[in-house]
Amino acid sequence: MLRYTIPNSSLHHANVDLAIPLAGPRARPFIAIQDSKHALKTARNQILTGARIITIGSHVLHYAQLRDAAHVGNTLFVRDVERLDRQDDRAASRTFSAKMLDDHITRSPSQRALTVYLFVLGELVDAWQNRQISHLTRAKLAMRARFFLMAWRTHIISHPEHSLSTNFISRESFDIFITLCDSLLSLIIIYRRYHLKYPLLPWLHSTEPCEHAFGVMRQIKTDFTYSDMLSASRKLAVLMSGAFGSLSAEEKANTTAAGYYHTYFKNNDIDLCELASLPTDQDLAHASVAALTEVSQLCSYLGFAAQDMISKYVAPSSHTSPPPPHPQGTLASTLQLFDNTWRSAPSNRHIENIYFAIAAEGASRSASIPELPEMTDEDTEQIKALISSLSDGVAMSLTAAPPVTTIDPLVPLAFLDPVTNSLQQAVLVTERTRHQTAFALKAVRKTATPSVLTDMNSKTLQRYCLKGPTLREQLAAKLKALEAEARNISQQSEVSVSSGLSRQIRHMGTFAGSSTSTQEQNKSTVRSVAANKFLQCRDQAFSGFRGLIHENFPFANVSELQPLSSGHFIVALSPVSGKIEVILGEVITIYSKGSGKGAKHEWVPQINNLGVASYVYVRKFVPLAGNTVFSALACQQLSSATFLQIPRTHLLFSLASHPITRAANTISVNSTDFDLVTLGNLPSTIFANFVERRDALHKGIKLLKCYLRDKAQPVSLDFDGADSDDNVELD
């Protein structure tokens, strides 16, 4: 085992300890890495989940923020957030591009969490993918991301009402990002010790070449076997170099796997002089200090102290419990798997014929592989010419003078204004622009599309501006818009069919088709029936509250006339275990989940039936002056806000139709302003009544959960008494 430590003179808890295994009889280093482009898609997919409310300090990021950005139409396409392909490399590059960051800060400066998330993780992936920046800069970007993730995770753990399962990215995603940081630093150390004569090209340490080869194989046979791969191994070079001879290098790869856009062969902007220069131990130590300084600024912008959190950081345990043993099989259970008693003899013959036809088709495709052409002398010469052209480009890069570095990676950037402590937008955007790849620049949506105005001469253009468009010009503009719409629909259909469908069938064996209007209606009907059933169970569980607090309590004051949406306030029982507390919460975003198997949490703009909701995410407000004035500074321990995942069972009452005043003054702590709200007389009384009966409400929620599981027993509850001590007997 080779151990190496990058020290940090500012904070010894920020030392980066690397452990590199040595394998084989010659003790050669072995580094386990994660594919950086897959990590970028993972980072994007974390924003899209409805099962979590990603919380960073006193701010959150969620799906609706990306959706709003897509519908504005500056950087993202609508297809990037709706009916999307989660494995689309270009969509991930658009999401973390410099233009997206610039547009987001300009349009939504209050969404600080998304701003920092896009910046830090976008920089981490570009540390792997960029062809020009120095390895010292890459090391700094990796350590910046590592320190940010460490501080962020510790802050979630330190918050008494937050949890890693609800307020943080998934455990697997965290492991991927930390591995990206450590493996890049390990590669720099290993190349410096073992391969000093060779430039380090980190983007080639990936699974992209494998994916490219698999994409070509799937063109021959979708479900290819290991034997098929062995048969085609001597022919893949011909298929990958000659089958798409008329296309560009990027187009060749893009035709092999929709959603995957291979760029590992792009070398037109490579800088081998820079890539052959490796940082010293002292350089890495100074870069660590600079990275920590920058992370401290970003975390301060989000409302918490990075160094305090890093000092308390404890790495997650890598121990995983063994899987439980499979239940012992019996002859009867085995025979049930082959139960075909419901089939008639003709049906059995028909099914067998289909099986035989499928097997024959697969065998035919496998038999065609040996007949594919192998490498010829002409193919060899073409490959030699290609290598020669690449070598010429490399030679020119080596002989060219190294570029002038205008930014010293050892000097921390000033992300915050020293006077106002506000974010320096130009600094962040310039940094992202400097590091983002050419692929990301091309993937960004181009908003300035050609229009009818480009074909006008100066005289016609002047008339157009003064008198407006003629009928012909209006029709031409509509026709162009229809063409663009048809093209988008075609692209979405192609992506859905060629990538998502085939991939899902290959991996799972099943596919849920895209929703038609009839399917949407059926889905809506099923959801409505399930929602009404929930309200019936809720009314039964809280029967003792009828007319006790408010006449609309049976449906939580959520209806067609009084829908619930983001920005409204609700009264709920805290879902935090071991804590029976009635809270006031401001709705951040709402999700709904279908009743089918494998149904996902889908974002909805509003709900008019409480049963439709799966989770309502809220910002908690705590009483500041009785039950009238409330503050968003809910966690005094960390001087931070609190964001909770409220299940529909815990939502008691919507205050959407009641007067709530947001004060002009705020409480400012750690560069974050916390809102103050004042409840009117009626909502204040409603809140106080719920607080008095919090124990009875807790018992009612337990009973409601049992009703929903159809396991409840008749129980008599006394809801009139405040803080009742009656026990609820449940199975």
pLDDT tier at 222, thresholds 50, 70, 90: confident
- The pLDDT assigned to 321 comes to 64
Q: Which residues of 274-309 are buried (b: 16+ CB within 10 A; e: fewer)?
A: bbeebbeeebbbbbbbbbbbbbbbbbbbbbbbbbbb
Q: In which residue are the tokens 């960073």 written? A: 56
What band does 715 get if pLDDT is binned at 50, 70 and 90? very low
In order of 96, 432, 585, the CA distances from 406 in angstroms are: 24, 15, 48
Query: Left, alpha or beta for 24 (phi > 0: left; psi -120 to 50: alpha)?
Result: left
Task: Give the model's confidence band at 113: pLDDT under 50 very low, under 70 low, under 90 confident, else very high.
Answer: very high
Res 16: pLDDT:
95
- Percentage of the chain lying above the pLDDT 90 cut: 46
pLDDT value at position 367?
Answer: 82
Task: Find the radius of gyration of the CA atoms of the chain.
Answer: 30
Structure confidence by residue, pLDDT tens digits, 41-62: 999 999 999 899 999 999 999 9
- pLDDT value at position 259? 53
CA dist 466 and 460 (Å) reads 10
Spatial contact of 303 and 296, defined as CB atoms under 8 Å apart? no
* Predicted local confidence at residue 697, as pLDDT: 94
How far apart CA 672 and CA 304 sit, in angstroms, is: 9
Dihedral (Cα; 644, 650, 656, 660), 10-degree rounding = -60
With cut-offs at 50, 70 and 90, classify the pLDDT of residue 405: very low
Taking residues 590-595, report their average pLDDT. 84
Q: What percent of the chain has pLDDT over 70?
A: 76
Mean pLDDT comparison of 223-232, 370-379, 700-709, highest-scoring range: 700-709
Could you tell me if 118 and 104 are in contact, meaning their C-beta atoms sit under 8 angstroms apart?
yes
Greatest extent of the chain over all pairs of C-alpha atoms, in Å? 92
Least confident of 13-17, 81-85, 248-252, 530-534: 248-252
Mean of the pLDDT values across residues 529-554? 90
C-alpha span between 214 and 229 (Å, rounded) = 9
* 47 HSE (CA, 13 A, CB side): 26
pLDDT value of position 262: 55
Statement: residue 78 has pLDDT above 80: yes
pTM score of the predicted model: 0.81
206, with CB counted inside 10 A (0-12, 13-18, 19+), is buried
Measured CA to CA in angstroms, residue 259 lies from 421, 495, 503 at distances of 41, 7, 10
Summarised one tens digit per residue, pLDDT across range 356-367 is 888 888 888 888
Residue 110 has pLDDT above 60, yes or no: yes
**Crossing angle, helix 36-48 and helix 171-194, to 10 degrees?**
160
DSSP, res 14: G
pLDDT at 501 over 60: no
How is residue 8 written in tokens? 């940090």
Alpha-carbon distances, residue 518 vs 497, 511, 524, 619 (angstroms): 20, 18, 10, 37
pLDDT of residue 253: 40
Find where tokens 């630093």 sit. 185
**Sign of torsion, CA 105 110 112 118?**
negative
Q: What angle separates helix 98-107 from helix 112-129, to the nearest 10 degrees? A: 170
d(CA 546, CA 184): 62
Q: Output 309 or 508, whichever has higher pLDDT.
A: 309
- For 673, the enclosing helix (H) or strand (E) is strand 672-674
d(CA 235, CA 229): 10
Burial (0-12, 13-18, 19+ Cβ within 10 Å), 22 = exposed
d(CA 256, CA 314): 43
Mean pLDDT estimate for the chain: 81
Tokens of 477: 């503009």
Q: What pLDDT sits at residue 714?
A: 45
Grade residue 206 by pLDDT with cuts at 50, 70 and 90.
Answer: confident
How long, in residues, is the chain?
Answer: 731
- Give CA–CA dist 687/697, Å, rounded: 13
Out of 32-41, 325-334, 355-364, 487-496, which region has the weakest mean confidence (pLDDT)? 487-496
Give the C-alpha distances (Å, rounded to integers) separating 691 from 203, 263, 584, 651, 726.
Answer: 57, 59, 10, 14, 17
Beta pairing, strands 582-593 & 569-573: antiparallel
* Beta-bridge mates of residue 677: 630, 662
Within 468-614, where are the H helices?
471-495, 502-508, 517-541
Could you give the 3-state DSSP secondary structure of residue 566?
coil
Q: Tell me: the pLDDT tens digits for 95-109?
A: 999 999 999 999 999
Query: 255-314: per-residue pLDDT in tens?
Result: 443 455 555 556 666 778 888 899 999 999 999 999 999 999 999 999 999 999 999 999
The structure tokens listed for 598 are: 């494998």
| Helices 98-107 + 425-435 axis angle, to 10 | 160
Look at residue 23 and give its three-state secondary structure: strand
The pair of structure tokens assigned to 540 is 């039964």
Q: Where are the beta strands (DSSP E) in 235-275?
A: none
Going from the C-alpha of 433 to that of each of 43, 216, 290, 412, 438, the distances in angstroms are 19, 33, 20, 17, 10
| 356 or 456, greater pLDDT | 356
Tokens of 418: 């020293």
Nearest to 7 by CA among 282, 410, 192: 282
Instruction: Give the Cα separation of 119 and 101 in Å (integer).
Output: 7
pLDDT-wise least confident of 51-60, 110-119, 319-328, 597-606: 319-328
pLDDT digits 0-9 by tens, 625-660: 888 999 999 999 999 999 999 999 999 999 999 989
Cβ atoms of 94 and 76 closer than 8 Å: yes
Mean pLDDT, to the nearest integer, of 701-724?
A: 63
Cα(216)–Cα(252) distance, integer angstroms: 10
The predicted pLDDT at position 265 comes to: 59
pLDDT at 473: 67
Q: Which of 75-79, 175-179, 324-328 is modeled with the greatest confidence?
A: 175-179
DSSP codes joined into one string, 426-469 = HHHHHHHHHHS-HHHHHHS-------GGGG--HHHHHHHHHH--
Q: What is the pLDDT of residue 468?
A: 65
Q: CA 93, 144, 147: angle at the middle one, nearest 5?
A: 120
Q: What is the pLDDT of residue 563?
A: 95
- For residue 466, the model assigns a pLDDT of 61
Q: What is the dihedral of CA 603, 604, 609, 615, to 10 degrees?
A: 30
Say yes or no to pLDDT of 319 above 70.
no
> Regarding predicted confidence, which is higher, 208 or 406?
208
442-459: buried (b, 16+ CB within 10 Å) or exposed (e) per residue?
ebbbeeeeeebeeeeeee
127-144 residue pLDDT tens? 999 988 999 999 999 999
Strands 601-604, 613-625: pairing is unpaired
- The string over 38-69, giving b where at least 16 C-beta atoms fall within 10 Å of a residue's C-beta and e elsewhere, is bbbbbbbbbbbbbebbbbbbbbbbbbbbbbeb
Calpha distance 441→129 (Å, rounded): 13
Distance CA 439, CA 97 (A): 10
Neighbours of 250 (CB within 10 A): 15
Confidence at 476, pLDDT banded by 50, 70, 90: low
pLDDT on residue 104: 93
